[in-house]
Amino acid sequence: MKYQEEPLVSHKSALITTPANVLREEVCLPAALIKKTALENNIQWMQRYADVRGVSLAPHGKTTMAPWIFQQQQRAGAWAIGVGTAWQASVAMQSGISRVLMVNQLLGKANMTLISQLKARYPAVDFLCCVDSAANARTLSAFFVAQHQTLDVLIELGVPGGRCGCRSAGDALELAETLAALPGLRLRGLELYEGVVHGEQAQPKVEALLRDAAALACRLAPYADGEFLLTGAGSVWYDVVCNVWLEAEKPANCRIAIRPGCYITHDGGIYQDAQDALMARDNVACDLGGSLTSAMELAALVQSVPEAGRAIANFGKRDSAFDAGLPQPIAHYRRGVALPHPALTMETTGMMDQHAMLTLKPGAEVQVGDILLFCTSHPCLTFDKWKTLLLVDDEYNVLEELDTAF
């Protein structure tokens, strides 16, 4: 076997010096950056929002899959961390998270075994997952009874044409009766994700779904054990979820938990648009002071200026989300000196795996080796392209290397 030497670097945005500054070219670029000041603002703002509304915050950790960020959210007051898979649950538990909501179905012997092992290793952690069928409920019951364990579950409510979840109140009630008769399972509440509702008239449809869910919760409560958890809300409709559920009749011992995820770094695209709309309709958010702000940036180099009106930056689809708008340049540096705002001089108009194509406007002065900072849209799909992201201060000094666990 050929001897393999220890690698010089462990991730693609490696620091070449310590301490390191991005603008002094002491970091391998491209690099995904998180601005510490903006990150702290977002964590604190959303926690304040939940506290003022009198609901619990269970941010969806699948956005970042960054244990360090999970810990900051819990330290700031998050009631739980939401995940989507057994693997993600294991990352959260091993990070020291005290309550984990797996807002998805638990299926397959290997995944059930992993959760069983986690429950044995971390008995103090409160773990809940979703169920939407009697078939899955029976499988879970048989497995966890054999392990001498009890699995806490939430019934998932869905919508026709959506993803998982019972399609009617009748289906959910039948499932609750099945759960009540099965050993090894304990019903804890009702879960939904209103973000599957789309279209120009989405808000009235979302509100109707939420009202139906609150009414269903009242009918399910007798089958539940202890406090009844009613949980929903992504990063778009969390104010509407609070408005409807706080006003609706619900079980007396009901806890409402909202689960936004993308707020953590926000963005300059679809979630900025969503937050602008929320601020326009929600006085509570306006009265908090401040708002969410984009905390994630992509740093890249101009690697070619092959023709007039065109430049190429050294990042692409392997490095950044592109499903909800292309990353756009927000800052331009040459040898550490800021140049005019690039919105006046250039625009990203195309991307390939490792290349971003920039169209230059008249008068633009772009040179090979310049550093550009980009704002992205839809943070989930940027996070999952990086093994390590860099936490930086406002001068782009690297403060921490934040590992992810996708």
Q: Which of 183, 232, 184 is nearest to 210 (CA)?
A: 232
- pLDDT 10s digits, 319-351: 999 999 999 999 999 999 999 889 889 999 999
Confidence band, pLDDT 50/70/90 cuts, at residue 363: confident
Same fold yes or no, 20-34+293-403 and 39-270: no
- pLDDT 10s digits, 171-191: 999 999 999 999 999 999 999
| Domain 39-270, CATH number (from 3.40.50.720, 3.20.20.10, 3.40.50.300, 1.10.101.10) | 3.20.20.10
Q: How far is CA 325 from the centre of its chain?
A: 18
The structural domains of the chain, with segments of one domain joined by +, span 20-34+293-403, 39-270
Q: Which of 290, 292, 64 is nearest to 73 (CA)?
A: 64
Confidence band, pLDDT 50/70/90 cuts, at residue 6: confident
Output the pLDDT for position 2.
59
- pLDDT 10s digits, 75-116: 999 999 999 999 999 999 999 999 999 999 999 999 999 999
Output the pLDDT for position 5.
77
CA atoms within 13 A on the CB side of 320: 34
* Secondary structure class of 201 (helix, strand, coil): coil
Rounded Cα distance, 272 and 287, in Å: 18
**CATH topology for the 20-34+293-403 domain:** Lyase, Ornithine Decarboxylase; Chain A, domain 1 (2.40.37)
CA atoms within 13 A on the CB side of 156: 23
Output the pLDDT for position 3.
58
Mean pLDDT of 26-42: 98
Output the pLDDT for position 225.
87
> Does residue 46 surpass a pLDDT of 70?
yes
In degrees and rounded to multiples of 5, residue 280 shows phi and psi of -75, -25
